[in-house]
């Protein structure tokens, strides 16, 4: 195995103080800090181990995806790393590397985090940085880079720092949106966000020089030292952890200030917990009063002795229509069935009904829906009722009468994504593990993409993507429900019910589009990643004025602090997932782009999620319910509704 030979050579040369725990094991895949996929080294995290010398033996690890050698004593120029084409995270900070910016790095087109901070690199920062089309993080701070900042266009960049170098000239416009701390301690750098550049004497009519070396820089805060290591999530800073940036003149926090910060943090945390507690308790007790049950309140299981469905006397007799051609039960059977309230949504109440023959269905009673006419309703149902896909909850039948409209769906026994993420938080809860989250994300994406690709002439949308509408079937596969009902939504309370997921352009009453679905799906991904609920109402004065704007919050945290801060604390216990989490975060952020045409199409979202891990999250065909569940919908089916 070529990787093993390389690792042995690397260890022999660099671990002279024998600090790297390899347990004298002959298989390097079991060494501390080494992860392998099918016997090829995929991850090497060897931090603060006093390793030294050159990293040349690692240049042949062609399957490496994560390389972190932060906090060692490696020195000299970086070797040619162009063979490491699979590398996505590269952390080489706090070493003694020197030489110019390694040209070979720019061929690593998959990189999305590059940290070379706190080394002795020198020379220009090359314009070829623009080759990093996926870059989220670029840390070059605390080196000796000089010359002008190149005008690089890195649209995905979230975390950027070149402070503590010897750069000069004007900061390019594309980078001027980063904070002052990204550029501090470069005495000859000027332009936004730093102070204005003095006029250029070489230009006619101007009288000064480019940024004056005497210009006061004291107002510029020192670069913030941010942990970017995969093994240090979430970020913590210890008072004793003196960084090179400190040594180069950065400010130190006094013990009093540190205590004040900690006390402040604890107070804010306490206040937030109290507010959340009050909010959930108020909702809980309100629901108790109103007698509305849901999966969150198992104790409220209501079995109706009298049916919740329409009484027959005095009603116009309607029609129960099944889509698969076979009449399975009549309204009378539904009336006889014992019904358990599942929850109340924007259109009305949903029930679980157990029929006499043991069949279980979910019945949605459309009370609040704005239905203009029977014909339109029936035509629309004909389209929705033909959608069959392993990641979509099948609509089996509908009942239409003037006073009553019912939709009959397959019953999904394994809770909603909302419940899995937010239900039962606290002691005794089993967290939703990362692989399951990824599998749910991939499944739900496939479901939405299927809806978008069905019946192209109608440009069918889901219209109400959110975590209560992602259900798990009896094999644990994610299925999207409630699709296509937004056409019945009026401007009233229904419009406000899922605000946290709603695309900015699809506000009150505006038509839903494929792109607004993509936005909502992006918010759902952020919910999966952060564990935060987008539709929780924030207290007054929070700055959000209503529901949490999850995309805005994530963007601000990723920019100001560090990506690791946004992830659900429940995910911190899982090893080796950071790369996938950051990958999913990137997808979520592109889905929630403010401009609709910058958002990807749903079929691309599916592809990107599947590529994060590969086969494991792809659909397993042995889990499909039946052959009838294979994706299907002909264009003829839409024809009927036009």
Ligand X SMILES: Nc1ncnc2c1ncn2[C@@H]1O[C@H](COP(=O)(O)OP(=O)(O)OP(=O)(O)O)[C@@H](O)[C@H]1O
Which positions touch ligand X (CB under 6 A)? 294-295, 342-343, 345-347, 350, 362, 364, 393, 409, 411-412, 416, 464, 468-469, 471, 481-482, 497-498
Minimum distance of ligand X from residue 424's CB (angstroms): 14
Nearer to ligand X, 247 or 324 (CB): 324
Tokens linked to 20: 């790297």
Q: Element (H or E) spanning 380, and its range?
A: helix 374-384
- Give the integer Cα–Cα distance in Å for 387 and 396: 10
Minimum distance of ligand X from residue 537's CB (angstroms): 16
Minimum distance of ligand X from residue 478's CB (angstroms): 13
Minimum distance of ligand X from residue 184's CB (angstroms): 48
- Distances, alpha carbon 407 to alpha carbons 181, 370, 372, 420, 473, in Å: 56, 15, 17, 25, 18
Are 11 and 45 contacting, i.e. CB atoms less than 8 angstroms apart?
Answer: no
Nearer to ligand X, 188 or 501 (CB): 501
Nearer to ligand X, 368 or 580 (CB): 368
Minimum distance of ligand X from residue 514's CB (angstroms): 19
Nearer to ligand X, 230 or 310 (CB): 310
Minimum distance of ligand X from residue 486's CB (angstroms): 9
Nearer to ligand X, 463 or 522 (CB): 463
Minimum distance of ligand X from residue 364's CB (angstroms): 6
Which residues, in sequence order, are CB contacts of 289 under 8 Å at separation 6+? none
Minimum distance of ligand X from residue 366's CB (angstroms): 9
- Give the integer Cα–Cα distance in Å for 99 and 459: 56
Nearer to ligand X, 364 or 446 (CB): 364
Rounded to 5 degrees, φ, ψ at 316 are -65, 140
- Distances, alpha carbon 607 to alpha carbons 103, 391, 441, 551, 615, in Å: 31, 15, 12, 22, 12
- Give the integer Cα–Cα distance in Å for 185 and 167: 9
166-185: burial string, b at 16+ Cβ within 10 Å, e else: ebbbbbeebbeebeebbbbb
Nearer to ligand X, 116 or 334 (CB): 334
- Give the integer Cα–Cα distance in Å for 635 and 642: 11
Minimum distance of ligand X from residue 494's CB (angstroms): 7
Minimum distance of ligand X from residue 469's CB (angstroms): 5
Nearer to ligand X, 17 or 474 (CB): 474
Q: Is the dihedral of CA 432, 434, 435, 437 positive or negative?
A: positive
Q: Which residue has the tokens 């900015």?
A: 504
Q: Element (H or E) spanning 555, and its range?
A: helix 550-560
Are 220 and 188 contacting, i.e. CB atoms less than 8 angstroms apart?
Answer: no
Nearer to ligand X, 482 or 538 (CB): 482
What 3-state class would DSSP assign to 565? Answer: helix
- Give the integer Cα–Cα distance in Å for 462 and 474: 23
What letter would DSSP give residue 77?
Answer: S
Q: Do β-strands 159-161 and 137-139 pair in parallel, antiparallel, or remain unpaired?
A: parallel
Minimum distance of ligand X from residue 376's CB (angstroms): 20
Minimum distance of ligand X from residue 302's CB (angstroms): 13
Are 93 and 117 contacting, i.e. CB atoms less than 8 angstroms apart?
Answer: yes
Nearer to ligand X, 252 or 425 (CB): 425
Are 398 and 385 contacting, i.e. CB atoms less than 8 angstroms apart?
Answer: yes
Task: Extract the runs of DSSP E, i.e. beta strands, from 310-373.
Answer: 319-322, 338-344, 349-354, 360-365
Nearer to ligand X, 307 or 414 (CB): 414
Nearer to ligand X, 167 or 480 (CB): 480
Rounded to 5 degrees, φ, ψ at 125 are -90, 120
- Distances, alpha carbon 463 to alpha carbons 25, 418, 419, 485, 502, in Å: 55, 17, 21, 7, 9
């Amino acid at each position: 195995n070529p990787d093993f030979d390389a690792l042995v050579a690397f260890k022999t040369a660099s671990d002279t103080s024998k600090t790297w725990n390899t347990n004298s094991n002959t298989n390097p895949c079991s060494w501390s800090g080494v992860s392998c996929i099918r016997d090829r080294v995929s991850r090497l995290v060897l931090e603060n181990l006093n390793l030294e010398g050159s990293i040349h033996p690692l240049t042949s690890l062609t399957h490496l995806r994560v390389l972190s050698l932060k906090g060692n004593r490696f020195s000299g120029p970086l070797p040619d790393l162009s063979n490491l084409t699979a590398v996505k995270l590269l952390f080489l900070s706090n070493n003694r590397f020197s030489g110019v910016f390694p040209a070979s790095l720019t061929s690593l087109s998959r990189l999305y985090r590059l940290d070379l901070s706190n080394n002795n690199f020198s020379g220009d920062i090359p314009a070829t940085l623009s080759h990093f089309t996926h870059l989220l993080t670029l840390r070059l701070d605390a080196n000796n880079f000089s010359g002008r900042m190149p005008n690089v266009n890195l649209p995905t960049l979230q975390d950027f720092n070149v402070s503590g170098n010897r750069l000069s000239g004007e900061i390019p416009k594309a980078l001027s949106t980063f904070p002052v701390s990204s550029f501090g301690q470069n005495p000859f750098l000027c332009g936004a966000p730093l102070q204005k550049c003095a006029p250029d004497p070489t230009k006619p009519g101007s009288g000064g020089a480019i940024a004056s070396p005497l210009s006061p820089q004291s107002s510029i805060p020192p670069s913030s030292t941010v942990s970017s290591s995969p093994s240090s999530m979430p970020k913590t800073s210890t008072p004793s952890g003196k960084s090179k940036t400190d040594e180069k003149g950065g400010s130190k926090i006094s013990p009093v200030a540190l205590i004040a910060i900690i006390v402040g943090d604890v107070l804010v945390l306490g206040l937030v917990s109290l507010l959340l507690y009050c909010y959930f308790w108020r909702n809980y007790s309100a629901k108790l009063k109103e007698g509305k049950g849901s999966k969150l309140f198992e104790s409220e299981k209501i079995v109706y002795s009298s049916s919740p469905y329409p009484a027959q006397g005095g009603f116009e007799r309607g029609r129960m229509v099944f889509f698969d051609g076979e009449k399975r039960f009549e309204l009378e059977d539904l009336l006889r069935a014992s019904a358990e309230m599942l929850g109340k949504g924007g259109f009305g109440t949903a029930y679980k009904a157990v029929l006499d023959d043991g069949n279980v269905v979910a019945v949605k009673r459309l009370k609040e829906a704005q239905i203009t006419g029977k014909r339109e309703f029936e035509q629309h149902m004909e389209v929705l009722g033909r959608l069959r896909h392993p990641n979509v909850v099948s609509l089996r039948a509908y009942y239409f009468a003037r006073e009553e409209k019912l939709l009959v769906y397959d019953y999904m026994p394994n809770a909603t994504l909302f419940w899995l993420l937010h239900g039962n938080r606290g002691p005794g809860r089993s967290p939703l593990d990362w692989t399951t989250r990824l599998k749910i994300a991939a499944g739900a994406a496939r479901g939405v993409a299927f809806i978008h690709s069905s019946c192209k002439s109608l440009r069918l949308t889901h219209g109400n993507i959110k975590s209560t509408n992602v259900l798990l079937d009896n094999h644990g596969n994610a299925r999207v429900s409630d699709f296509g009902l937004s056409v019945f939504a009026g401007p009233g309370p229904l419009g406000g019910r899922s605000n946290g997921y709603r695309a900015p352009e699809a506000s009150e009453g505006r038509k839903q589009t494929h792109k607004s679905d993509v936005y909502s799906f992006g918010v759902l991904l952020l919910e999966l990643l952060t564990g935060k609920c987008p539709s929780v109402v924030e207290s007054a004065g929070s700055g959000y004025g209503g529901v949490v704007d999850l995309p805005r919050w994530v963007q601000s945290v990723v920019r100001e602090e560090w990506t690791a801060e946004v992830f659900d604390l429940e995910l911190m216990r899982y090893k080796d997932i950071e790369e996938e989490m950051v990958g999913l975060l990137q997808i979520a952020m592109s889905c929630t782009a403010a401009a609709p045409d910058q958002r990807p199409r749903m079929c691309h979202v599916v592809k990107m999620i599947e590529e994060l891990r590969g086969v494991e999250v792809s659909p397993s065909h042995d889990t499909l319910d039946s052959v009838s569940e294979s994706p299907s919908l002909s264009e003829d089916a839409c024809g009927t509704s036009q």
